[in-house]
Structure 1
């Protein structure tokens, strides 16, 4: 069975990340925790995975008009930009309209 996008990102990042790290907020925030871990560790991720992973944020309806008063959203916004700027660099604007298949059965 093929691994889902989020699990592949966690497994193939260098250094690898832990998807759904225990004690890190509600399960609904596993993608945000994963992104934060990738940024904090300075992880390298192949463009094949990095582009669709970042496209999920860029194409979210709230990306362009975030609620800056919510500290979690502010952290996510900063992390998306930091991760995109890390090697290999990804132009976030190039991801606009990119369709990404993903599922989140990890916590369902």
Structure 2
């Protein structure tokens, strides 16, 4: 069975991350924590996974809603998306606009 996108990202990042790490807040924070872990560990991720992972964030309806950035988690996530995109291999976030990504993880907003 194919792994879900976020689980694959966690497993294939170098260094690996943990998807759904226990004790890190409500389950719907799992995607935010994964992104934060990737940035903090300076993880490398193959473009095959990095592009759809970032596209899931970029194409979320709230991505461009700067009013929501005042919320601590959203503000930090917005910074982390940009930091992770700038890490090697670099991804141009604008190139991901409109990219269809199949994300079925239950806790991704």
TM-score range, shorter chain: over 0.9
The number of residue pairs the alignment matches comes to 107
**TM-score (normalised: structure 2):** 0.94
Displacement, 1:68?
2.2
Q: Which runs of 4+ in 1 moved over 3 A?
A: none
Unmatched segments (≥5 aa) in structure 1: none
Give the structure 2 partner of residue 65 of structure 1.
Answer: 65
Contact between 2:10 and 2:19, CA under 8 Å: does it hold in 1? yes
Determine the C-alpha separation between the residues in 2 that align with 1:85 and 1:71: 21
Deviations 1:14-38 (A, max 9, x none): 0000111111010001110000000
Give the structure 2 partner of residue 86 of structure 1.
Answer: 87
Confirm or deny that 1:16 pairs with 2:16.
yes
Q: CA RMSD in A?
A: 1.4
Confirm or deny that 1:95 pairs with 2:96.
yes
